[in-house]
Amino acid sequence: MKQDIIEEITHDRSTGMTLIVKTVAKIMIAMMLLFGFYIIIYGHLTPGGGFAGGVIIAIAYVLMMLAFSRKVALKKLSNFWASIFDNLGMLAFIVIAYIGLGFGYFMYNFIWHGNPFHLISAGIIPLCNIAIGIKVGAALYAIFIGLSIYGRITTKEEE
């Protein structure tokens, strides 16, 4: 049901941009989400991390909003769920930090450090990157939703 509504809005020529922009945006959104997750997961081995990956993920949703319309973007990830993910990312980061307090001090690296230059090689840093990526991505997307709401007053006939 929800997918049918999204497909109908996506192919509607009256919302969003042209078909060429929508087609290129679909490809770019998928690549940006994949790259954002890659930056978050491998942030402890390469330049990047939670903040950079979260920004890339947020920009993918902003591109969806610009290319297709605010309706499509809000059907995929509403402002309510963006707020929930924002709070869950911060809560996860705080929980990881306080678990370390039980092992000695705040933000103590309590997970096995693994082998250098492997995916499992940094203890709690990948977990912190994931929490920060969720937080930053959801917060920036929520900020853009807030900015787009006040851009134009719509009437019931336009919706």
Task: Find all residues with CB under 8 Å of 60, minimum gap 6, and list them.
Answer: 28, 29, 32, 33, 36
Share of the chain above pLDDT 70, in %: 83
Euclidean distance between CA atoms 102 and 107, whole angstroms = 10
Euclidean distance between CA atoms 41 and 124, whole angstroms = 12
Say if CB 64 and CB 26 are below 8 A apart.
no
95 pLDDT band (50/70/90 cuts)?
A: very high
Question: Residue 43, class by beta-carbon neighbours within 10 Å (0-12 exposed, 13-18 middle, 19+ buried)?
Answer: buried
14-63 confidence digits (pLDDT tens):
666 888 888 899 999 999 999 999 999 888 777 788 899 999 999 999 99
**Residue extents of the structural domains in the chain:** 2-149
What six digits make up the tokens of 57?
Answer: 């993920």
Q: What is the pLDDT of residue 93?
A: 93
Taking only Cα atoms into account, the Rg of the chain, rounded to an integer number of angstroms, comes to 19
Q: Is the pLDDT of residue 156 over 70?
A: no
Say if CB 35 and CB 56 are below 8 A apart.
yes
Rounded to the nearest integer, the mean pLDDT of the chain is 84
